[in-house]
Chain A
Amino acid sequence: MGGTVSVGLAPRCALAMRAMGCQPLRWLVALCLAFGAASACADDVRRVLVIYSNGRLVGGNVDVELGLSRALASSSKGLVQVYSEFLESEFAESSYEETVTTYLKAKYSRQRPDVIVVVARPSLAYMLRHKRELFPEAPVVHAAVFKSYLVSVPAIPSDVVGIPLEYDPTGTIEQALRWHPSAKHLVMIVGSTARDREWEQILKGITPGFESRAKVEYLSGVPTAAILARVAELGRDSIVFTPGFYQSGDTLRSTPRDSVQAIARASGAPVYGFLSTFIGTGVVGGRSPDFVDMGTQAGKTVQRLLNGEPAATLALAPAMPNRLRVDWRQARRWGIADGQIPADAIVQFKEPTFWEAYRNIALAIACVFLLQAALIGALLLERRRRRNAELAVQAQRSQLAHASRLAIAGELTASIAHEINQPLGAILASADAAELILESGGDRRDDLTRIVSRIRRDDLRASDVIRRLRSLLAKHEPEHQLFDLGLMINDAVKLLEAESHRRETTLEVRPLPGGTMVVGDLVQLQQVLINLILNAMDAVADMAPDRRMVVIQAAIDGSSVSVLVRDRGHGIAADDLPKIFESFFSTKHKGMGLGLSIARTIVEAHGGRIQAENGAVNGAVFRVDLPAAATRSASMAAAQ
């Protein structure tokens, strides 16, 4: 690759980089040296040493560390290395502090911290005592230190800065009394270590203000068991207030948080404590600065110092703000309504409403339901559409069948008119005869009786014709009914009797065993039969009288019933035979070619079959096969 001189500038630079080795940091250092910024770039890592007053897991420490690390992580300048030390100032032996100092001195002799952060008063006090010895050059940022302490220290060096704390026990107790207006008893619990005693001092300074409203009781330095026993006795008319303790009247060591938790668990009265870390242990709440905020503030101050601002000129807030914190579950427990909690309070452990907790799931489920509903809706719609279409087809079919029946009736007009006029004429003549007999005045009762009964008979005859005709012509919905095939055939033949006379054609019915039942639409099946018979009569119309004959024959064969219509005409031409049931196929001059196609539609809708063939000797045979209503035919026959 070196041989390609013409490669250009960029590869050459990359080559130079490679020559410097793969450590950009070192390369940076070199750069810094070259520009003479020795102090800033002498060490590329900025070190912050955080000294906590007590143990690693004290809640306050955890929160401060969180806030601090967040603030430092957002640093724009290089890498910041944070070291933590825990003084555990409870170890009060005189040699301990010396040991710690020696340890720190030795530990940080090479990696000198750029900024020291002290968390809580003991570590600040320690640092004030040993700063000169340990880290004279590093500015100190304090956090979680009470203002009261700061003012008590005679001379705080100008490179020791921070935002002091001011706990607000008064505000907390005031809030508690507002929430429990009926409380008559205020129980203050403090421990027995030196630090705990300081709380006692502070509290005793403020409690006189409340004595007018509630009886104040102090449990100070009482053994833990006694404390728990006492709080267990308390009722809802009491309020417990405690800053927590490290130790109280016995050898048990605790953290303020743990002690508060124990008290809150045992107490029959609401417990208030102001440290933000107490929330969740069972206290209702309290006004306090937030430890995370403290860490954050300290971190920001550290940033400013690392950025080169001199400690003396930093303008910092006079104190950390106090905020009311409430454990929502406890507020519930003690009957504090949401409306009573000030709007600026930090409410923790608020049980999310269903919507808050399961918003996404709920939305997802709702979506699924909606989709499902939409799908179901669409399917239902589709089904309905299909059903409507089916109904429309069915309606059309039934209309067509009806039209075809009307056509049949049209064909039968002459014979039907004759058939109806015959009895009507008879009735009129009978009535006229009766009238004349009555006018003649003779006593001819017998004649009159005979005439009247004849009138009735003729009337019934006429109405029978009309009934048969009407059932054929009625526009009706297709229905499924059980009916006697034999009766249906007889009815059809009766309807055609006059027509057969007119055409001088013999109709011969070979009877069927009674009670042969069929399920279906009587009118439509009768229509099929009438159609076949009329076709047969057409087929023999121009035959010699002895061949003008149509035979209707029915037979039952197991589960199926067959009806045969046989004529003695010329038969069907072989070419026509396959097409005979097709629509608009007709061999007649005036035929529409719909009768047989409709007949087939009807028969197939009944689960049956229709076929045509030529007779053995002459003529054609039409055969309709229908499923017999076998199960009921026997019982019906028996019933008849």
Chain B
Amino acid sequence: MTPAALIHVIDDDASFRESLCDLLKAAGFDVRSYASTGEFLLDATPDRPGCVLLDMRLPGPSGLDLQAALLRQERTIPIIFLTGHADVASGIRAMKAGAVDFLEKPVDRATLIDAIDRAVERDESQRQSRAVRRRQHERLAVLTAREREVFDLIVSGRLNKQIADDLSISLRTVKAYRAHLMEKLGVATAAELGRLAGEQGRAAD
């Protein structure tokens, strides 16, 4: 079994924070709690799937500020916003900025767990695709610049002759590069090459 997801609770209200922690722990999550966004940012979070439960209204930098900061740092941890008073404008802002969910306090347990599960799932899938992409990246890294150029043109559906024209090299040279890179990447057919390129493309999304 995979290790339990790690949930980060950020709320300035100690009582609410503790209650939420108790609930999530009882529901089988690992929890870390912070009174402010700053505390969270300063914390060296272990690289584990999870999500952030973030109070919209916080003293100092707000939940939306944190969201912006995380985006900038490309920390893609999903954020579920919690608010004491749903205000449509900030809700929309949060969702546009990529929040997974926007919940109003007091929040129903099922809804909360649901949202967390979804967020964690998303985090996990993001993590997976990030890993695939990293792996692809590593595999494609073995190609020379010329080989990579030829690869890109192959997966974009160009014929050998066209590639030769595009790159102003001879057809034979193209064929040589092609054989060489297929060997390097360990694929036997053009279809396999295409799948590899497809994964690469998805991971880049």
Contact = CB atoms under 8 A, between A and B. Distances in A.
A208 to B, nearest CB: 128
Contact of A425 (B25, B57, B107): B107
A424 B105 contact: yes
A469 to B, nearest CB: 14
B8 to A, nearest CB: 16
A615 to B, nearest CB: 26
Contact of A418 (B18, B19, B84): B84
Contacts of A420: 84
Contacts of A437: 22, 26
B201 interface: no
Nearest to B109: A432
B13 interface: yes
B63 to A, nearest CB: 13
A412 B87 CA distance: 14
Given A421-B104, A436-B26, A426 B59 contact: no
Contacts of A501: 57, 59
A447 B26 CA distance: 10
Contacts of B15: 422-423, 426, 454, 457-458, 461
Interface string A452-465: 00100110010000
A423 B16 CA distance: 7
Interface in A428-446: 428-430, 432-434, 436-437, 440
Contacts of A427: 19, 106
Interface in B9-42: 13, 15-16, 18-20, 22-23, 25-27
Interface residues of B, number: 24
A457 B13 CA distance: 13
A508 to B, nearest CB: 16
A502 interface: yes
B106 A424 contact: yes
A362 interface: no
Given A417-B84, A418-B85, A428-B107, A454 B18 contact: yes
Contacts of A430: 19, 22-23
A430 B109 CA distance: 10
Contacts of B20: 426, 429
A444 to B, nearest CB: 9
A447 B19 CA distance: 11
A501 B23 CA distance: 27
A429 B16 contact: yes
Contacts of A159: none
A451 B105 CA distance: 18
B109 A425 contact: no
Contacts of A502: 57
B56 to A, nearest CB: 9
Nearest to B82: A425
Nearest to A451: B22
B27 A422 contact: no
B22 A422 contact: no
A455 to B, nearest CB: 8
Contacts of B107: 425, 428-429
A424 B16 CA distance: 9
A14 to B, nearest CB: 118
Nearest to B110: A432
Contacts of B82: 425
A433 B23 contact: yes
Interface string B63-105: 0000000000000000000111101000000000000000011
Given A428-B106, A432-B109, A422 B13 contact: yes
A538 interface: no
Contact of B105 (A422, A434, A440, A461): A422
A392 interface: no
A529 B59 CA distance: 25
A183 to B, nearest CB: 113
B27 A421 contact: no
Contacts of A418: 57, 83-85
Most buried by B among A414, A419, A425: A425
B106 A425 contact: yes
Nearest to A415: B85
B87 A422 contact: no
A425 B85 contact: no
B104 A447 contact: no
A556 to B, nearest CB: 33
A426 B13 contact: yes
Nearest to A440: B26
Contacts of B25: 433
A429 B85 contact: no
8 contacts: A422-B15, A422-B105, A424-B106, A425-B84, A429-B107, A432-B109, A433-B25, A454-B18
Interface of B: 13, 15-16, 18-20, 22-23, 25-27, 57, 59, 82-85, 87, 104-109
User: 9 smallest A-B Cβ distances: which pairs?
Assistant: A425-B105, A418-B84, A436-B26, A433-B22, A429-B19, A425-B106, A433-B23, A421-B84, A428-B106
Interface of A: 413-415, 417-430, 432-434, 436-437, 440, 447, 451, 454, 457-458, 461, 501-502
